[in-house]
Amino acid sequence: MNRSPKLAVQDLHALKSRHAAVFAPSWATRSATIATVAVLAGLFVFGFWRLDFSFTKLVSGIGQLGVLIWLMIPPDPGSWARFVTFLGALAETVAIAFLGTLLAALIAFPIGFVAARNTTVNRIVRFASRRVLDGIRGIDTLIWALLWINVVGLGPFAGVLAIMTADIGTFGKLFSEAIEAADRKPVEGIVSTGGARLHQIRFGVLPQVLPVIAGQVLYFFESNTRSSTIIGIVGAGGIGLHLAEQIRTLEWQAVSFLVIMILITVAVIDAVSVRLRSAIIGRPQRAAA
Amino acid sequence: MATSFSRLPDDRLAPYARAYDDANRKKRVQAILFLGIVAGLTLLSGAVAEVDLFKLFGNLGNFFSYFDRILTFDSGPMVGRRVWTDPSEWLWGLGKWLSLLGDTILIAYLGTMLGAIGAFLLCFSASTNLMPNAWLRGLVKRVFEFCRTVPEIVFALIFIIAFGLGPVPGVLAIAIHTMGALGKLFAEVVENIDMKPVEGCTATGAGFSDTIRFAVVPQVLSNFASYTLLRFEINVRGASVMGFVGAGGIGQDLIEAIRKFYYADVSALLLLIILTVVLIDLGTERLRHALISREERP
């Protein structure tokens, strides 16, 4: 700005004297900002030191990474037989995501009503169900996969159960929030016609929350496709098993091929779920208009 | 107050009743069709995913007995007793585990910060209102998409070969994934800003970086901070499993305990992880509410 001093800049002194309060530095905010930044930066530096970051390590690693990326080109599955195996594993991945999401939604549906303030049975049940959902959500899908492998053995079924369990926690929370956000008026309408508690939920709450819930389930189907690509790493089926194996055996061309397969699948499912979601959420709006 | 309704005569009521039935039937057919499709897909994917309900019900007892087992001492002087009867025996490795948990949080923190910095630097080039060059904008958007679609564990597996075992590949994997996820959100925030301050800055002859510093950043900073906090929470969860593939943190000890059937250790580690995640959830929620309320109070 000092390249071309214009009117406002020439007038700066006058402006400053006229609006002293605006230009005066507020030491309280400034010191708070400086303190926050200092703490964040300090933690940052401490982290680098604690986790053994070193310049030479980074540089040599990035060099290595360049070599690996060079080795990945062109993507190549190796043979037709392997390509067919990969396709099968990819289908398994999508199936795991689909079943896991569907089962989680079915199980979380009643839990959502119990955990919502306006439809719950009583306070204690609501509190308990919330804490259980929090606990379930605190454990990552991969950990659930390891636990389920102990129960049903290695294979995609353990993956389905892992996705299901991890999502019950998230769905339960999201559903109960959707239910709590529902409009009271339709429920009051049902009460005024003499509807019982279940009628209130079925005809007052359900029609409002169903589109929201359907949208969330579709969204999670998409994000679960991503999670189910990796649960194979611990042996719970799907394409992750092949991906981990190809990385460990340093078959870089097959690795990049697998990554591209995953990217395409996720993009396709993303497109489909966006379509479906706008169809579901769009419908009641059109009816109202 | 008594109110009486007069009922329409049957011949006038009939068309309404028919229309009501028609509307209902159409909806019902749609719903049945939809359920049919879902059921078909379920059966198909059940076959592909080798779902075996007999195995599940046969072994479901195992699931609950597994939790029973991890909550019982299986060796030492307290064999057969519940783990919480002797906390010092149960949490025998508390010091080591807490330091590993600290590492896990640090991995998440560094990954989140690095990713957020990357996303911050790139997001302005990915938003329609600030970057007129469609080609460059598309490129940055594709980079974000790639970074967030490839799961962080996959990045970690590849980085481990380049950088060696340890927390460094974990941090970098989380950073890359975070950059992709936050980059998209940041760009959306930037696309929704009020353009008047930008025009004001442009009118004074400010360049790209000055415009962003004085017209854009003050509008978006609290939103950016809120999204970054949310991401930090997600990344703590992600960092807890980085150790599964050898990328540092508490995951290494957990997978060992699960694979080697150190039952009491499994429950202790799960408890510590859940507690950490819940505490961080609560902390970030507080901070985000504080940020939002500061935003609303001018």
Question: DSSP for B56-110?
Answer: HHHHHHHHHHHHHHHTB--SSTTTTSBGGG-HHHHTTTHHHHHHHHHHHHHHHHH
pLDDT of A119: 78
Q: What is the ipTM of this complex?
A: 0.78
Q: Which of A4, A12, A150, A264 to mutate to test the interface with B (most CBs of B within 10 A)?
A: A150
On the question of a cis peptide bond just before residue A74, with omega within 30 degrees of 0, the verdict is: yes
pLDDT of A60: 84
How confident is the model over B10-24, as pLDDT tens digits? 888 888 888 888 888
- Interface check for B65 against chain A (CB to CB < 8 A): the answer is no
Q: Quick one: pLDDT band at residue A289, thresholds 50, 70, 90?
A: very low
Is the Cβ–Cβ distance between B126 and B136 less than 8 Å? no
CA of B12 vs chain A CAs: smallest distance (Å): 24
Percent of chain B at pLDDT > 70 equals 96
Q: Which of A146, A192, A261, A264 to mutate to test the interface with B (most CBs of B within 10 A)?
A: A146
pLDDT of A287: 38
Q: What are the start and end residues of each CATH 1.10.3720.10 domain in chain A?
A: 80-288
Q: Which of A90, A98, A231, A256 to mutate to test the interface with B (most CBs of B within 10 A)?
A: A98
Q: Quick one: pLDDT band at residue B119, thresholds 50, 70, 90?
A: very high
One domain, residues B100 and B47:
no
The 3-state DSSP class for residue B260 equals coil
One domain, residues B149 and B278:
yes
Q: Is residue B111 part of a domain?
A: yes
Beta-carbon neighbour count of residue B250 at 10 Å?
27
Domain of residue B164: give its range: 93-296
Q: Quick one: pLDDT band at residue B221, thresholds 50, 70, 90?
A: confident
Residue B121 clears pLDDT 90, i.e. is over it: yes
Q: Domain tally for chain B?
A: 2
Q: Is residue B71 part of a domain?
A: no
How confident is the model over A147-201, as pLDDT tens digits? 888 878 888 888 999 999 999 998 998 898 888 888 888 888 888 888 888 888 8
One domain, residues B161 and B277:
yes
Average of per-residue pLDDT across A236-265? 88
Residue A273 clears pLDDT 50, i.e. is over it: yes
Dist. CA B139–CA B223, nearest whole Å: 24
Residue B171 clears pLDDT 90, i.e. is over it: yes
The 3-state DSSP class for residue A249 equals coil
Tell me, rounded to whole angstroms, the distance of Cα B233 from its chain centroid.
8
pLDDT of B291: 77
Instruction: Report the amino acid identity of residue A120.
Output: T
Q: What is the DSSP letter of A3?
A: T
Domain A80-288 is classified in which CATH homologous superfamily? MetI-like (1.10.3720.10)
Q: What is the DSSP letter of A183?
A: -
- Interface check for B53 against chain A (CB to CB < 8 A): the answer is no
Residue B294 clears pLDDT 80, i.e. is over it: no
Q: Is residue B4 part of a domain?
A: no
pLDDT of A276: 83
Instruction: Tell me how many helices (H) and strands (E) chain A has.
Output: 14, 0
The 3-state DSSP class for residue B36 equals helix
Q: Is residue B178 part of a domain?
A: yes
Residues of A within 8 A of B48 (CB-CB) are 91-92, 95, 156
- Which of A6, A64, A152 is closest, CB to CB, to B55? A152
- Which of B106, B255, B273 is closest, CB to CB, to A47? B106
Residue B26 clears pLDDT 50, i.e. is over it: yes
Residue A71 clears pLDDT 60, i.e. is over it: yes
pLDDT of A222: 85
* Chain B, window 102-131: residues with a beta carbon less than 8 angstroms from a chain A beta carbon: 103, 106-107, 109-110, 113
One domain, residues B37 and B136:
no
How confident is the model over A96-115, as pLDDT tens digits? 999 999 999 999 999 988 88
Q: In whole numbers, what is the pLDDT of chain A averaged over residues? A: 84
- Interface check for B98 against chain A (CB to CB < 8 A): the answer is no
Dist. CA A107–CA B112, nearest whole Å: 33
